[in-house]
Structure 1
Amino acid sequence: MVKLTGLKKVKTAVFISGTGSNLKNLIKFSKIKNSPISIDLIFSNTAKAKGLRFSNQFNVKKYVSSFKDSKIAETKILNLLKKENIKFICLAGFMKILSKNFIKKFNGEIVNIHPSLLPKYKGLNTHIKAIQNKDKVAGCTVHFVTAKLDSGKIILQKVVKISKKDTLTTLAKKVLRQELKLYPAAIKKIFS
């Protein structure tokens, strides 16, 4: 477990593959006085990730490496994390699965935000599954990352009601609104 040392914030990397809405939110959260983390690196597996624009906007280093050869990519990333003294990783819409080796070799904690109430609906297409199964509720989960997909210890969850009118788009928006509150709350809980 990463421990807070005095007044220093824990150096954190955020891994993304898409628009970066959780990334932007985490950067803003990291800037508040009582936040336990500082965002020091943004990593993406694709140069097309729209969230990379926040690197310039907030003056945070960025690094892109495709996962065509995941072993090479992970070795490069681990070296970079070590060089930058990163102790904490937040996965925020990162669409690659980190290897057991990477998770073991990274000397810190890795957390992920997932758009379902785990252990229900691991992996992709969570909102479609919830709607098709006529679930009354959906939600999001922040959990520790282990070698088993979406199976690490749950830190916090938030429930979202599904209305009869909800579509994939409306449900996704509802869940994202809660994700933006849940991720900072979970990080505070980890370091409290």
Structure 2
Amino acid sequence: MEKLTGLKKIKTAVFISGKGSNLKNIIRFSKIKKSPISINVIISNTNKARGLNFANQSKISKKIFDYKNVNFAENQILKFLKKKKIKFICLAGFMKILSKGFIKKFDGKIINIHPSLLPKYKGLDTHNRAIKNKEKFAGCTVHYVTAKLDSGKIILQKKIKITSKDNPKTLAKKVLKQEHKLYPAAIKKIFY
């Protein structure tokens, strides 16, 4: 990833599928002067993603792609990103797995946040699995996206203690709070 020079911010797309709390946080971060990125596009695979409201509130261009045919959807997304001159992608609760071909086109320029201390608990249901296995710690990881699920090079991690009072819901809340700090810190680490 090239380091940032001058004041030109990197044109970024954020991919979401859900309520978009990380998206909201990244938008806020992108607006500060020292942020290396600008959010130019928000992409979703569903018009039911509540996070799309943040696109409206922030007057950011948004586009929904139908994933019935993955190849077609990804080709449309790539054309759209090229047209918008997007150079960097942040996945923030995007519930589709990107193909090897798509990832190759954005080589090393796609990052994701995952609610576990990778390489532990890849995929879904991370908090429940961590509690069931009597883990002492949970956390979140920002990593580069590769063709293997949640397996790319780790950029930053944040560890938090699991208490005896925690259940998957309370743990998810605690981890999400850390995600909101970790994602901007990881973006800064990449570009500065």
> TM-score normalised by the shorter chain: which range applies?
over 0.9
Aligned-residue identity in percent: 72
Structure 2 length normalisation: TM-score?
A: 0.98
Q: Provide, for residues 20-53 of structure 1, a one-character-per-residue CA deviation record: whole Å limited to 9, x for no partner.
A: 0000000000000100000000000000000000
- 2-structure distance, mates of 1:186, 1:141: 9
**By how many angstroms is 1:85 displaced?**
0.4
1:2 to 1:71, Cα distance in 2 relative to 1, 3 A: farther
- 2-structure distance, mates of 1:87, 1:8: 12
Structure 1 length normalisation: TM-score?
A: 0.98
The residue correspondences of 1:33-182 to structure 2 (distance < 5 A) are 33-106=33-106, 109-182=109-182
AA matched with 1:11? K
- 2-structure distance, mates of 1:139, 1:75: 34
Answer yes or no: is the 8 Å Cα contact 1:87–1:108 preserved in 2: no
The number of equivalent residue pairs is: 192
**By how many angstroms is 1:5 displaced?**
3.8
Contiguous gaps of at least 5 residues in structure 2: none
Answer yes or no: is the 8 Å Cα contact 2:138–2:161 preserved in 1: yes
Aligned to 1:11: 11
**By how many angstroms is 1:108 displaced?**
5.9
- 2-structure distance, mates of 1:35, 1:10: 9
Answer yes or no: is the 8 Å Cα contact 1:12–1:38 preserved in 2: yes
RMSD: 0.9
**By how many angstroms is 1:105 displaced?**
1.6
- Spell out structure 1 runs of 4+ moving beyond 4 A: none
Contiguous gaps of at least 5 residues in structure 1: none
- 2-structure distance, mates of 1:80, 1:69: 17
- 2-structure distance, mates of 1:189, 1:134: 32
